[in-house]
Amino acid sequence: SQAQPTRRGALIVVEGLDRAGKSSQCEMLRDSLWQKGSPVKYIRFPDRTTPIGKLIDSYLRGSSHQDDHSIHLLFSANRWEVAKSIEDEIASGTTVIVDRYSYSGVVYSAAKANPTLSLEWAWQPEIGLPRPDICLFLSISPEEAAKRGGFGVERYENEPMQTRVRQLFSTVFERQEDVSIIDAGRSITEVALQIQATVSDCIEHMDATAPLRKLE
């Protein structure tokens, strides 16, 4: 009999505002896929462990200053430096769950209202990166976010910035294909079950013999 073509893994991105519950949901999704026997890996951006990631971390903690364009390109470079390893994992059959990706990249930078840093400008360095098979947008209302406790101490964790980020996420996801909006204002379990169902549906319907696509 003929050998089956290798099924590649899926690239699953989880996006949302700060305090939407992304990290907990990513961990639960990883565990549920693992229990079903799928090889799976969970990564996050920014990856603060690399040399570029350390510059980003210092900027976010407010210990260093960066020009808006410069920090934007560092966030993008932080994705490019692991793009190949994501592609390799996926080609070998591992599903990769990514906590924040290019969508956070463009939205947080454009939210600074810098006149020469538009969404369009911000998207350019993302072109060619691995394209997610699905992007789950964890949506919570500003009221629900407020109930989840105060802001952290990092740059961007303030009301005016979060309001602009929320608006820009809507703009970006209106134009984007393969997005699933998840109402993340519900209980952790309800949200987790909807995410699992959405991801199973995506994995079942995607062409797992075709290679991963690229962002364009």
In degrees and rounded to multiples of 5, residue 7 shows phi and psi of -85, 125
Contact partner, 133, from Mg ion, ligand NYM, none, Cβ < 5-8 Å per class: none
Distance, in Å, from the CA atom of 24 to the CA atom of 99, rounded to the nearest integer, reads 10
Residues 1-30 that bind ligand NYM (CB under 6 A): 18
Strands (DSSP E) along the chain, which ranges?
11-16, 40-44, 95-99, 134-139, 179-183
Name the minimum Å distance from CB 159 to Mg ion: 15
Among 25, 95, 104, 139, binds ligand NYM (CB under 6 A): 104
3-state secondary structure of 153: coil
Among 9, 11, 16, 18, which residue sits at the site for Mg ion (rule: CB under 5 A)? 18
User: What is the sign, positive or negative, of the torsion defined by CA atoms of 70, 61, 80, 99?
Assistant: negative
Segment lying near Mg ion (by CB under 5 A), choices 13-21, 31-39, 80-88, 102-110: 13-21
Separation of alpha carbons 83 and 199, rounded Å: 21
8 or 22: CB nearest ligand NYM = 22
CA distance linking residue 56 with residue 76, whole number of Å = 11
Task: Write down the H helix ranges in 36-100.
Answer: 51-60, 68-91
Among the residue ranges 24-32, 97-105, 135-143, 168-176, the one whose residues contact ligand NYM (CB under 6 A): 97-105
Tell me which of ligand NYM, Mg ion, none is bound by residue 9, counting a contact when its beta carbon lies within the kind-specific cut-off of 5 to 8 angstroms.
Answer: none
Residue 76: which residues within 8 A CB-CB, separation 6 or more? 102, 105, 125, 126
Among 156, 180, 208, 215, binds ligand NYM (CB under 6 A): 156
Q: How many chain residues bind ligand NYM (CB under 6 A)? A: 10
100 binding ligand NYM? (CB under 6 A): yes
Q: Which stretches of the chain bind ligand NYM, using CB under 6 A?
A: 18, 45-46, 60, 75, 100, 104-105, 108, 156
Q: Which stretches of the chain bind Mg ion, using CB under 5 A?
A: 18
